[in-house]
Structure 1
Amino acid sequence: MANMNTTFVLLLNLLYLLLITESISLEAVPSNSIAVNANVRCIEIERVALQKFRKGLKDPFNRLSSWVGQDCCNWEGIGCSNQTSNVVKLDLGSSNLCDFEGGSQYTPDQPNCLSGKLDPSLQNLKYLSYLNLSNINFQGLSFPYFLGSLKKLTFLDLSFTMFSGVVSPSLGNLTNLSYLNLIPSQLSERTLSVSNIYWLTNLSSLQYLNLQNIDLSKAETHWLQVVNMLPSLSELYLSSCGLHHLPQTLPFVNLTSLSVLDLSNNGFNSSSIPPWLFNLTALINLRINLCDLKGPIPNIARASLCNLKNLDMPFNFFIGGPITEFIQALSGCDNHRLEQLNLGSNQLSGVLPHSLGYFTHLRELHLTNNSFSGPIPSSIQHLSRLEILELSYNLMNGTIPEFIGQLTELSTLDLFSNSWDGTVTETHFLNLKKLTWFSLSSTRKSLVLNVTHDWTPPFSLQNVLIKDCQLGPAFPAWLKTQKNLLEISLVNSSISAKIPNWLWNLSSLPLKLDLSHNQLRGDLPKSLSFEWVDLSYNNLTGSLPLWPSVSYLSLRKNLLSGPLPVNIFQRTLPKWIGKRLPSISELRLRGNMLSGPILEQLCFLAHLHVLDFAHNNFSGSIPTCLGNLAGLKSLVEYSTSPIRSLLLPLTYLEHMDLTAKGAQREYYSQIFLMNSIDLSRNNLTGEIPEALTKLSLLFTLNLSWNQLTGKIPENMGALHGLETLDLSCNHLLGPIPPSMSSLTFLSHLNLSYNNLSGPIPSANQFQTFIDPSIYEGNPQLCGPPLITNCSLLPSDGDTEAVDEDNEEFSSEKLWFYVSVVLGFIVGFWIVCGSLVIKKSWRHAYFNFVDDKKDRFFVAVKVNMARLQGKIEA
């Protein structure tokens, strides 16, 4: 019996424990989280919140097609807790960058992209710990404040979401956050700002922080102190944040875990590198490019940055002599890890140290655009993993060592614009099987590239740039083996042969061809596959063919002849012109013998930025419709993005030759808005079209040495971007328009040898034009800088009076001659008519004439007889 009681008591206790456990389990689940259907895991209030969020989104590719039914835990991008069924993860981020046009205007080119509004119902996802909405275009909406209520968040990614306004300080409530990415846009303008950054100090668990392209200018005096209070921070990205203050001292470095630091593209007002930066011993990646940093690179403690893999410091103003101590300090570690070293585009000098060869893990070495001198150090041959070697635009000299050919991993070899000499042979390329980019030039112009005619290179190049070398006289036959070329540039390379036919269709890929400044001969082909062509300064002959695929063309200084082919620009616009010439941005035909009119079909080239027809025989008037060229009126970019050009080394930047500011100049920069019209030295007649004043973004206008007449357009001051204006050697008349005083960017002006009159404007920019030669040949011009005093010339009123008098005199003279003619006609017919009609008057008139004739004859005879008698006596 006792045993039965004991057993019963034990069973009761066990049952009680089970009830207690179930009660605790039920209490652990919120009342609203009890699912209606045992087979449905999703919590109703959270499903409703997600459905409201879904209604605010535009999903043209049905990426969220699975968002149907009751169980939201099975929807794409949703993750639920296995214990409570609460939504703990919302991941709709995309790895692809969505295309944005015109700021918030969205173009859904990728199926992963979404757009729309962010519904505040998401704040009902109380248990959400992971939120990724990256690359969803929220179309410039204000930054959502309600996100600060999602206190369980550990991961928040709002990158490239196009939010605007001020980042909410309520994010400081997310004390569990370890990952925060708020990059607003891949566009250059900053649409987001931070007014108070102190909320970051609450995020003590933060490991990843990316505020790139967010305006932090209001926090620039204390941003470092705030960041230094985040002890767990491992990666920090603050590029393009508008920071101008880089503290030189930091009393206590708390960033012991920081492995990535990106401060690039902040103008730190000529600050130097602070010493504390090199005390971050855990650094793996350091980016301080485009920071306006100046001064010498500081000496650092030996072996202080042993974990460093990537050091990126280009586009600053670092100066000084040899970088030997700096390189030796970096290489002083027992285990070298450096993989990328970029000191390009600074003002560093001296010889390259031998210690560069100690970085045996180095994959990229960028030293372009400095003032380094001396030869390539022999220790470079030990960098067996080197993939990129960039030494362009320096003062290096000596011969190029043959061991370059043993760097088997090399894909980019950039030796452009140095003072090399000697000979480059096949040995220099012996084992460069991975080479895709090769550039070489020597300012001494004595470097010889000597390979056999039947040489087959081991590599397959995409870009080859050779300039100022002795490559010719034969055309390099080895190029025929390169089937993946995107760019061929053989400038001033002593090639005097005929261009082989195989070159014109070498590749099916879009291609750039620059063979300028050689002695190439022969006719141009009827077709070719290139998009960018420069064949200037050669001896090419024949007429200009139809190349509709070309977007850049320069053929100046050749022996071309004949008119522009009529099948390029017909009297009526061809239907194919929009498809086959859609993106031509530069049209250069300078220095040939082209004739005929400038056809109006040019005006349909909406992307045209440079029109250069100088030094030809074009005739007729300037087409009025040139004032409609959209590329000279609005911000129409070249096909080469300026952002892309900025990211490339200087070797790869496009170049442009312009006749501007009185001289021919070669521009090496990000080619953007170098807008130019040059029609000089032709036989153009008529007036300068008023419509040209609509080209508000025109950089250069040169109409000199033509036969233009009429006045300078009154609204010339509307060309706000004009820097160069040359109207010399024409037949222009009238005053210089006062509106030209508003051309504040005008730095070169030439109005000489016309028939201009009146005072020279003296306001604004004209005060800087002190050279009288720019006005000479205009005898009726007066005022500084000419010595002619305007008081000695007729004033405007006097001139008008004189003009009126002259006009009145001319009118009176005309009527005088008219009256004389009419009087003669009337008098003649009065006399002769009466004689014809009246017979008695006719007889009387003729009798009178005969009588007078006889009397005159008798008088002459008598006088002659008397005179003869006197002579005989």
Structure 2
Amino acid sequence: MATRKTFIPFLVLLLLPLFLEFFLLEALVINSTDGDRDVVCIEMERKALLKFKGGLEDPSGRLSSWVGGDCCKWQGVDCNNGTGHVIKLDLKNPYQSDEAAFPLSRLIGQISDSLLDLKYLNYLDLSKNELSGLIPDSIGNLDHLRYLDLSDNSISGSIPASIGRLLLLEELDLSHNGMNGTIPESIGQLKELLSLTLDWNPWKGGDWIPPFSLKVIRIGNCILSQTFPAWLGTQKELYQIILHNVGISDTVPEWLWKLSPQLGWLDLSRNQLRGKPPSPLSFSTSHGWSPVPSNIGELSSLRVLTISGNLLNGTIPSSLTNLKYSRIIDLSNNHLSGKIPNHWNDMEMLGIIDLSKNRLYGEIPSSKCSIHVIYLLKLGDNHLSGELSPSLQNCSLYSLDLGNNRFSGEIPKWIGERMSSLKQLRLQGNMLTGNIPEQLCGLSDLRILDLALNNLSGSIPPCLGHLSAMNHVTLLDPSPDYLYTDYYYTEGMELVVKGKQMEFERILSIVKLIDLSRNNLSGEIPHGITNLSTLGTLNLSRNQLTGKIPEDIGAMQGLETLDLSSNRLAGPIPLSMASITSLSHLNLSHNLLSGPIPTTNQFSTFNDPSVYEGNLGLCGLPLSTQCSTPNEDHKDEEDEKEDLDDGWETVWFFTSMGLGFPVGFWAVCGTLALKRTWRHAYFRFVGEAKDRMYVFIAVNVARFQRKMKRNGGAHG
């Protein structure tokens, strides 16, 4: 018991220092927190921010919180909790995905020199606004800066050489501006630089041996170099290489494929890359030679491979299908030949395949859609043949382009039954036969239906008027490149619009087109097609269509192109067509149309006679055949009426004569024949009248003779 009493005070004395230390630390934390709350921004920096704000237009009021004494509480401003210095300024436009709000939320003005007073700034993002003018020459004074993003503005001029003094800078993005000049060598002094993005400016390239080791380089749409930059070969940690449309006209160096084991994104599109004869070990020699290495499948980290728009030839290596983590493969617009490789089964993350505009032949491999995530498949403009593979129905496609090949057979019904997300279907320029399946009408998201230049027959399905995506407005995404799991891809498609072959890229998402031209379709234009009020292009030319143009075609207020030429359409041009004020291209030539050409609204702009030629019944400008004027028409109507009245009078005259003679004859003679007393009285009257007439004539003749004798004697 005594031991227990002795132990308790001893334990208290032992733990008391620990409790005191705990409470002391807690008090320090509380004081530190209270101290942080009391820290406000530096007055000089607050004034610098207000001066910067004063030079901007802010239509949406994004900087409305920039009032009061504590700038650390202002939107987009972060301060150091200990010193109160502004260390982060993030004023990028936050509404990039909202088409309506995006243009209204841009800050307008110039980059003020006052920002250079924020000497402790390590993060500056002014992207996606409407800033113009030059980058301040003394921007190199912000020597704490680690992140600088001025992209998507209207900045002009050259990159200041002082930018080389930002020795801590890790990320630099000046893309999508109007800057020019030469990329300064001082960028090569940024030894901590990890990401460099300079695309969409009219730069001229420079060459240097940089001390940095980049992970990301994005340079595009400028003249960088005719050869691959030598300094690129020194970058061994690259994850992303984008050298898009930079004027490289060179062979693909072998070191490029071995540059970095973690390479995940390689974009060398739209240059003039060539191949060279293969080395024995690393290049395929089965069909000539290929600039793409046969062992490319060993680049296990590759997610995006885009080498489109070059001069590459040879075959596609079969090892390409070993890139099982790839999301995008774009080898389009080259001179590649041979067959499409088999065995796509293991590419479980592949979403985009674009092999269009090459010289590939054979059939579509049955394993192509064994992976269900493919949503864009472009194999158009090759020499592929056979029937459309049933395996395609396993793809979750939103865009299918097989145009300008040699595919045969009928259009499968399963396209309309299984591809419910399809937005774009391009099958033009093949050898497809049969009818247009009505199942296509079930594609509620379909915006492009291009079946031109085939051998399709039958009538146009009336249910095409149920394509609901062509009956409501589609807004243009301000970020037009499609984002697929953090990778951007700009989709393009060639279509015939306004009588010309045109390629659409950035506005493709809002293009709405039906092209059934150059087939053997017959019957009438279905009335339901006029329900497609936002359809932009309707081309039904060079078929065997008959009947009239639908009277209410004026309901198609979105039409910009209408081509109904080279059919057998008859009747007048509907007056409602003149109400389509968006119509800018019209072709009604070589039909059986008749009547006057409308002259109001858009029709006053169609001054080319070829728009209407080949319709012998049409009259009015711009044709030489004149229509009669309204006064002449009225006069002709009156003359026609008078002639008609005269005709009736003549008919009635001769009819009366024909009927009057027998009626009069038998009315008199019949009565005399039946009535004896009337007959005796009549003949007595006639006899007396004859006697009186004889006496009258005889007396007058005798009187006349006597008078003539007297006159003769007097003269003698």
Q: Does 1:560 align with 2:407?
A: yes
Q: CA RMSD in A?
A: 3.9
CA contact (8 A) 1:369 1:650 kept: no
Structure 2 counterpart of 1:519: 359
Picking from 592, 595, 603, the partner of 1:758 is 595
Rounded Cα–Cα distance in structure 1 between residues aligned with 2:526 and 2:631: 29
Structure 1 counterpart of 2:16: none
CA contact (8 A) 2:251 2:273 kept: no
Rounded Cα–Cα distance in structure 1 between residues aligned with 2:234 and 2:639: 86
Q: Does 1:528 align with 2:356?
A: no
Structure 2 counterpart of 1:685: 522
**SS at 1:756 equivalent:** strand
Structure 1 counterpart of 2:219: 391
Structure 1 residues 460, 797: CA separation in 2 closer, same or farther (over 3 Å shift)?
farther
Structure 1 counterpart of 2:255: 427
Q: Does 1:645 align with 2:489?
A: no
The aligned amino acid for 1:712 is I
**SS at 1:561 equivalent:** strand
Structure 1 residues 723, 567: CA separation in 2 closer, same or farther (over 3 Å shift)?
closer
Structure 1 residues 723, 396: CA separation in 2 closer, same or farther (over 3 Å shift)?
farther
**SS at 1:501 equivalent:** coil
Rounded Cα–Cα distance in structure 2 between residues aligned with 1:465 and 1:803: 76
Greater alpha carbon shift after TM alignment, 643-652 vs 475-484: 643-652
Shift of 1:415: 1.3
Picking from 586, 599, 609, the partner of 2:447 is 609
CA contact (8 A) 2:482 2:489 kept: no
The aligned amino acid for 1:396 is L
Q: Can you list the C-alpha shifts for 1:679-712, whole angstroms capped at 9, x where unaligned?
A: 1111111111121111122121111111111222
CA contact (8 A) 2:250 2:272 kept: no
Q: Does 1:273 align with 2:111?
A: yes
Structure 1 counterpart of 2:23: none
The aligned amino acid for 1:237 is G
Picking from 304, 311, 323, the partner of 2:148 is 311
Shift of 1:270: 6.7
Shift of 1:542: 1.1
Rounded Cα–Cα distance in structure 2 between residues aligned with 1:795 and 1:560: 58
Q: Does 1:541 align with 2:385?
A: yes
Shift of 1:444: 3.7
**SS at 1:684 equivalent:** strand
Rounded Cα–Cα distance in structure 2 between residues aligned with 1:309 and 1:261: 13
Greater alpha carbon shift after TM alignment, 620-629 vs 492-501: 492-501
Structure 1 residues 743, 800: CA separation in 2 closer, same or farther (over 3 Å shift)?
farther
Rounded Cα–Cα distance in structure 2 between residues aligned with 1:483 and 1:630: 37
Shift of 1:266: 5.3
Rounded Cα–Cα distance in structure 1 between residues aligned with 2:481 and 2:586: 31
CA contact (8 A) 1:681 1:706 kept: yes
Picking from 325, 330, 353, the partner of 2:184 is 353
Q: Can you list the C-alpha shifts for 1:622-677, whole angstroms capped at 9, x where unaligned?
A: 10100001221235789xx7657388999732222221121111112154221111
Structure 1 residues 636, 318: CA separation in 2 closer, same or farther (over 3 Å shift)?
closer
Shift of 1:598: 0.6
TM-score (norm 1): 0.58
CA contact (8 A) 2:151 2:176 kept: yes
Matches within 5 A, 1:307-346: 307-320=144-157, 322-323=158-159, 326=160, 328-333=161-166, 336-346=167-177
Structure 2 counterpart of 1:452: 283
Using CA pairs under 8 Å that are at least 6 residues apart, name the structure with larger relative contact order, 1 or 2. 2
- Which structure is larger by alpha-carbon Rg, 1 or 2? 2
Structure 2 counterpart of 1:497: 338
Picking from 220, 233, 239, the partner of 2:72 is 233
Shift of 1:391: 1.2
Structure 1 counterpart of 2:711: none
Rounded Cα–Cα distance in structure 1 between residues aligned with 2:455 and 2:638: 41
Structure 2 counterpart of 1:285: 123
CA contact (8 A) 1:757 1:778 kept: yes
Picking from 467, 470, 475, the partner of 2:316 is 475
Shift of 1:606: 1.4
Shift of 1:348: 2.3
Shift of 1:464: 0.7
TM-score (norm 2): 0.70
Unmatched tracts of structure 2, length 5 or more: 1-25, 28-33, 50-56, 78-83, 94-101, 285-293, 642-716
More helix by proportion, 1 or 2?
A: 2
Structure 1 residues 274, 703: CA separation in 2 closer, same or farther (over 3 Å shift)?
farther
Structure 2 counterpart of 1:149: none
Structure 1 residues 482, 235: CA separation in 2 closer, same or farther (over 3 Å shift)?
farther
Structure 1 residues 761, 802: CA separation in 2 closer, same or farther (over 3 Å shift)?
farther
Shift of 1:398: 1.5
Matches within 5 A, 1:242-253: none
Shift of 1:603: 0.6
Rounded Cα–Cα distance in structure 2 between residues aligned with 1:775 and 1:506: 56
Structure 2 counterpart of 1:717: 554
Give the paired residue count: 562
Rounded Cα–Cα distance in structure 2 between residues aligned with 1:533 and 1:517: 13
Shift of 1:798: 10
Rounded Cα–Cα distance in structure 1 between residues aligned with 2:322 and 2:301: 8
**SS at 1:382 equivalent:** coil
CA contact (8 A) 2:481 2:488 kept: no
Matches within 5 A, 1:721-800: 721-791=558-628
Structure 1 residues 302, 395: CA separation in 2 closer, same or farther (over 3 Å shift)?
closer
Structure 1 residues 515, 737: CA separation in 2 closer, same or farther (over 3 Å shift)?
same
Shift of 1:446: 4.3
**SS at 1:595 equivalent:** strand
CA contact (8 A) 1:278 1:300 kept: no
Identical columns (%)? 37
Structure 1 residues 282, 738: CA separation in 2 closer, same or farther (over 3 Å shift)?
farther
The aligned amino acid for 1:356 is I
Structure 1 residues 551, 795: CA separation in 2 closer, same or farther (over 3 Å shift)?
farther
